[in-house]
Structure 1
Amino acid sequence: MEKAWWKKSVIYQIYPRSFADSNGDGIGDINGITAHLDYLKDLGVDVIWLSPVYQSPNDDNGYDISDYQAIMQEFGTMEDFDRMLEEMHKRGLKLVMDLVVNHTSDEHRWFVESRKSKDNPYRDYYIWKDPKDGKEPNNWGACFGGSAWEYDEETEMYYLHCFSKKQPDLNWENEKVRKEVFDMMTWWCEKGVDGFRMDVISMISKDPAYPDGIVHNGLYGDNSPYVCNGPRVHEYLQEMNQKVLSKFDLITVGEAAGVTVEEAKKYANLDGSELNMVFQFEHVDAPTAEHGKWTDKRFELKRLRSILNKWQTQLEGKAWNSLYWDNHDQPRAVSRFGNDGPMYRELSAKMLATCLHMLKGTPYIYQGEEIGMTNAYFDKMEDYRDIESINTYKEFTENGLMNPEEMMSALKAVSRDNARTPMQWNTSAHAGFTTGEPWIRVNPNYLQINAEAAVEDKNSIYYYYQKLIKLRKNYEIIIDGIFEGLLEEDENIYAYARNLGSQRLVVACNFSGEEVSCDLFDRAEEGKELISNYEYHKDGMLKPYEARAILFEK
């Protein structure tokens, strides 16, 4: 049987607002993407995942959708979209759309109708509850700060919004909602898109009891046990699969907040009854921090290793992994897991790429990762645009949970805006992203870090990614090899092997800026070095941020 194409693919995520602006209004757009398709084709990626381009008031940068079948005016027209899709397909590139169906915008016509009256035909499209003792129905907090409930004067009830108050949650219990969603998905599939990345899809089924959550930070209750991986989520996804997904040759990945390995085996099971794979968050969740993700603490390699190894070994033969270091919601990989200083930025970026792309699963590259873009390190709140960052700063500082200096330090480390600064194309004004005033500040290091310089330098991170992608196409072991953890107590080295038939691929990555001893390559001359970020090696050692992958015949 031919291997599912998505297992062999490498996926590149585009955040349209920050990728390339074609008309000088300071906002990236669809024609800007089309203009750079050759750059992506040359990199070697197979699939482009596009963050939302639908009509939206932009409360959460497009993840609040007011019309699923229209394009945001700032991004262009449906004709622009159709041309982009056609140009992608001409180049053999596939397109994955971002599907955001846990919630809509409060400006979506369904919600506009829903809030008019209790007996409106659309009332039950959303989750409405009566006040409890004159207050919110329960103590749940929203992901972007504040209560997860918003009072509506018109009908004197509360509606649920797990994110912003302008993002009311859809009621998936309502069969009409599911039919609307499935019809809309079918419309996009018939248009020719090649798959869906499903935003917070693990949250579409809620605990029908709506119990109070445990209060962690002194303000609101944690709703995650009651909204993540709910009682009917697999039933809904199987219905989606039967009615839409199974009818087309698609790639599907679910963003699954709170997902466990056991749940992932259901979402991404190999029988194909739900999704192809899920995004889990364990490896990017903050080191046990007092205030959730809001910390400037660095990761610990031992913890990172145990999480990555668990997902590799426990999904083996049961489900498929998605592999990523960063995305539009996470800080830059080289800043978080590597070393973004001038001495080690390139080496550590290549090391991280090696580490990820040699694991079992489908790798994702976030725009700019292939040139080693870094965190923005904004030092003024006025520079931030992200609703989560702005709301949390206000909530935490006003309530004494963190002082302004601590909060700014945490934002520099983990704010979503670190990933959202404009793509750095060249050394011209605003990094070649726009001829206008960019919607968010460009990282000033674009003079040193940009795509034009990377393409001109044959030793750049860009060509290293290109080589990794080619290796994936040429070596079956990278796709199918069974994972085996190595050096599992080492403080500095993350190492593993992949085994397939008579072959053994050994990968070792030094996550430190020190030279460390490593005996995995004592007989390296007997194997074939597939890739390394150093030209010369030292016997029995790994240099700072060194990565090596050597293929042995058993």
Structure 2
Amino acid sequence: MKITDTSDLWWKTSVVYCLDVETYLDHDGDGVGDFAGLAQRIDYLADLGVTCLWLMPFYPTADRDDGYDVTDFYGVDPRLGTHGDVVEVIRTARDRGIRVIVDLVVNHTADTHPWFVAARRSRNSRYRDYYVWRDEPPANNVNTVFPGEETTLWELDEKSGQYYLHTFYRHQPDLNIGNPAVRDEIAKTIGFWLQLGISGFRVDAVPFLIEVPEGEDLADPHEYLRDLRRFLRRRSREAVLLGEVNLPYKEQLDYFGDNQGEELTLQFDFIGMQALYLSLARSDPRPLAKALRARPAIAPEAQWANFVRNHDELTLDKLTDAEREEVFAAFAPDERQRVYGRGITRRLPTMLGGDPRRIRMVYSLLFSLPGVPVLFYGEEIGMGENPDILGRTSVRTPMQWSDSRNGGFSPAAPSRLTSRPPEGGYAPEHINASQQLNDDESLLHFIRKLAARYRISPEIGWGTAELLEHDAPSVLVHSVRADVGRMVALHNFADEPARVRLALEDEPEGAELTDLFGPDRLALGPAGRVELDLPAYGWRWLRVARPGDGRLG
């Protein structure tokens, strides 16, 4: 594949870092993180190697769904700061080579949003058709998004005597994208934030966004996505849409568009993520290998986003029932660590028993897989969840900056904090950024090194991937190559050493493998043969150095 050198495609080799402003750093001492605090940590993120900062919702909110119940798409939650504070973060980040994307949550509003307040006052309100109403709920009135918390999709509004649709919580009525006025409002929202300097959007729950209820008017829901992308490109050539599309690969292709790149720019690889955890539970890379082989090729104008954890439950919904039980047994043996019958409410280090070898192997894999790596705040220091906080918010605890009070997150009294850090072995006195900044062997420094090597290995973002055959069943070996070069990565999923015999038959005589994290240079034998040893949970990144190519090693 020939690489096009253009800043418009900056996202092809980005390092994405997701954070919630509310839980990152409290500047004014009220117990809530804010934009002024975030501005103080932009240099930390730049040093980490972050090139794209993804901000979770910071809009005014009813605060019944951690900010995803928005009451004003154009506003800033006053607890977090002002528009001026947002612009200062965007400017400071851009000065450090970091672009900012924000959550676009337009499936629904809060039921306290002025549109819905006006809509439920009268059936004749101009905002009535901003939402979806029925005199009687349809027969399929079962909520499958939040089983156990919500039982229905349709809620009776007693004042008007009609039912409104809520795909998520009952306090989050669905917007009606079949209404052109709603589509215009969404476009204006996008245009507003682009004008303030953001570089794109992480689009929440995309399949639900374009799912038009029966009886509503939208001939081709994907044409709506294409319209959004065209609007985005008119306003900003560099801006992206990073989509949350938890569907099988074949269906995900539809969300890139028939001519890939005309709808979503990037999509999260949920299939690969779930297969990874099955491989970890079995100490066997074959489930992940199967997923990677099934991952469809995409055009240069599109990209996969790889992740091992995010701000929601670790969903396992695409595994079979038996496979899901395997992962539950390995990583969430306590029912309280599970949610909705499909997900886990723990962070990676606690699931892996704090084993630094396995943790580092997983992050090495994350950064070496074709696509872009996405980190959730605190992953770089190995933060754990707070098991005393039930549900998905157990992983959304305050960032642990130091071993001081409240982990350096806030000087406020603990009772005033927006969330509580964990206690025990994952408490701030044991896990924090300050300690790890001063320890060259820490996880933080390890993630820095991965990000640095990823950034000078453009073949990972641009290249064509293949899985390599070998004779070590516990090891995953994959290769990514582009016109700039080729990299080979090995990862051992077992707690025993492994010897790997490879044959890179298409490499020329005199080629070598150079270790990207060490001084080793391994000459390829006849037919490109080479033999390598990996320790338990070991990993290696190797670049193919051909005679006279001058590549960095």
Q: 1:525 to 1:489 in 2, by over 3 A?
A: closer
User: What is the SS of the residue equivalent to 1:165?
Assistant: coil
Match of 2:265 in 1: 276
Describe the shift of the 1:269–1:206 C-alpha distance in structure 2 as closer, same or farther (beyond 3 A). closer
Measured in 1, the distance between the counterparts of 2:226 and 2:504 equals 50
1:11 paired with 2:16, answer: yes
Secondary structure of the corresponding residue to residue 349 of structure 2: helix
Q: In the alignment, is residue 339 of structure 1 matched against residue 352 of structure 2? A: yes
Q: For 1:270 and 1:468, locate their aligned partners in 2 and report how far apart those are by CA, in whole Å.
A: 33
Match of 1:550 in 2: 542
Alignment of 1:253-272 (within 5 A): 253-258=242-247, 260-267=249-256, 271-272=260-261
Question: Could you tell me how far apart the structure 1 residues matched to 2:117 and 2:268 are?
Answer: 32
Which residue of structure 2 lines up, in the alignment, with residue 429 of structure 1?
Answer: 405
Q: CA deviation at 1:115?
A: 1.2
| Structure 1 residue identity aligned to 2:363 | A
Of residues 492-501 and 178-187 in structure 1, the stretch that sits farther from structure 2 once superposed is: 492-501
- What does 1:32-51 correspond to in 2, within 5 Å? 32-51=37-56
Query: In the superposition, relative to structure 1, how do residues 25 and 305 fare at CA in structure 2: closer, same or farther (>3 Å)?
Result: farther
Matched residue, 1:165: 170
Contact preservation (8 Å) 1:287, 1:298 = no
Alpha-carbon offset, residue 155 of structure 1: 1.4
- Correspondence list, 1:184-333, <5 A: 184-206=189-211, 208-209=213-214, 232-248=220-236, 249-258=238-247, 260-267=249-256, 271-285=260-274, 301-311=285-295, 313-315=296-298, 319-329=302-312, 330=314, 331=345
- Look up the equivalent residue of 2:57 and give its one-letter code: P
Report the Cα distance in structure 2 between the residues aligned to 1:288 and 1:92, rounded to whole angstroms. 33
One-letter amino acid matched to 2:400: Q
1:442 Cα deviation from its structure 2 partner: 0.6
List alignment gaps of at least 5 residues for structure 2. 315-344, 521-530, 547-553
1:459 match: 441
Q: Which residue of 2 aligns with 1:403?
A: none
- Give the Å deviation of 1:35: 1.3
Letter in structure 2 aligned against 1:547 = W
Of stretches 28-37 and 505-514 in structure 1, the one that deviates more from structure 2 is 505-514
How many Å apart are 1:55 and its aligned residue?
A: 0.4
CA contact (8 A) 1:322 1:362 kept: yes
Structure 1 distance, partners of 2:31, 2:288, is 38
CA–CA separation in structure 1 for the residues paired with 2:480 and 2:514: 14
Give the partner amino acid of 2:306.
L
Q: Which moved more, 1:493-502 or 1:441-450?
A: 493-502
Query: Deviation digits for residues 345-382 of structure 1, max 9, x if unmatched?
Result: 2x323211211111221221111111122333x1x4xx
String of CA shifts for 1:263-297, please: whole Å, max 9, x gaps: 335426765322211124223449999xxxxxx97
Partner of residue 143, structure 2: 141
Within a 5 Å distance, the mapping from 1:101-116 to structure 2 comes to: 101-116=106-121
Mapped to 2, the partners of 1:184 and 1:169 lie a distance apart of 17
Give the C-alpha shift of residue 319 in structure 1.
3.7
Where does the alignment leave 5 or more consecutive residues of structure 1 unmatched? 211-225, 290-295, 390-415
Q: Select the residue among 345, 351, 358 that pairs with 2:361.
A: 351
Report the CA distance between 1:104 and its aligned residue. Answer: 1.0
Number of corresponding residues: 485
SS of residue in 2 equivalent to 1:527: strand
- Aligned-partner Cα distance in 1 for 2:395–2:473: 28
Q: Spell out the pairing of 1:474-493 with structure 2 (5 A cutoff).
A: 474-487=456-469, 492-493=474-475
Post-superposition offset of 1:181: 0.8
Q: Deviations over 1:151-184 (max 9, x none)?
A: 1101111111111111111100000000011012
Question: Alpha-carbon deviations, 1:207-231, whole Å to 9, x = none?
Answer: 5449xxxxxxxxxxxxxxx9xxx97
Alpha-carbon distance, 1:429 to partner: 1.5
Shift of the alpha carbon at 1:540?
Answer: 4.5
> SS in structure 2 opposite 1:531?
coil
TM-score (norm 1): 0.80
Distance in 1 (CA, whole Å) between partners of 2:136 and 2:246 is: 28
Query: Quick one: distance in 2 between partners of 1:208 and 1:58?
Result: 27
Give the whole-Å Cα distance in 2 for the aligned partners of 1:500 and 1:153. 61
Q: Which amino acid aligns with 2:130?
A: Y
- Judged with a 3 Å threshold, the aligned counterparts in structure 2 of structure 1 residues 498 and 65 are, in CA distance, closer, same or farther, namely same
Q: Please tell me the root mean square deviation across aligned C-alpha atoms, in Å.
A: 3.2
Residue 59 of structure 1 is matched in structure 2 by: 64
| Partner SS state of residue 170, structure 1 | coil
Which residue number in structure 2 is paired with residue 442 of structure 1? 421
Q: Give per-residue Cα distances to partners, 1:225-276, cap 9 Å, x unaligned.
A: x9xxx97331111111223343202122011133533433542676532221
Find the counterpart in structure 2 of residue 529 from structure 1: 515
For 1:268 and 1:460, the matched residues in 2 are separated by 42
> Counterpart in 2 of 1:404?
none
CA distance in 2, matches of 1:244, 1:499: 31
Q: Post-superposition shift, 1:192?
A: 1.2
CA distance in 2, matches of 1:187, 1:300: 48
Normalising by the residue count of structure 2, what TM-score does the alignment of the two structures yield?
0.80
Instruction: Tell me whether 469-478 or 423-432 shows the greater mean CA deviation.
Output: 469-478
Partner SS for 2:201? strand
- Contact kept? 2:397, 2:419, Cα under 8 Å: yes
Which whole-Å CA distance do the structure 2 matches of 1:508 and 1:72 have between them?
Answer: 45
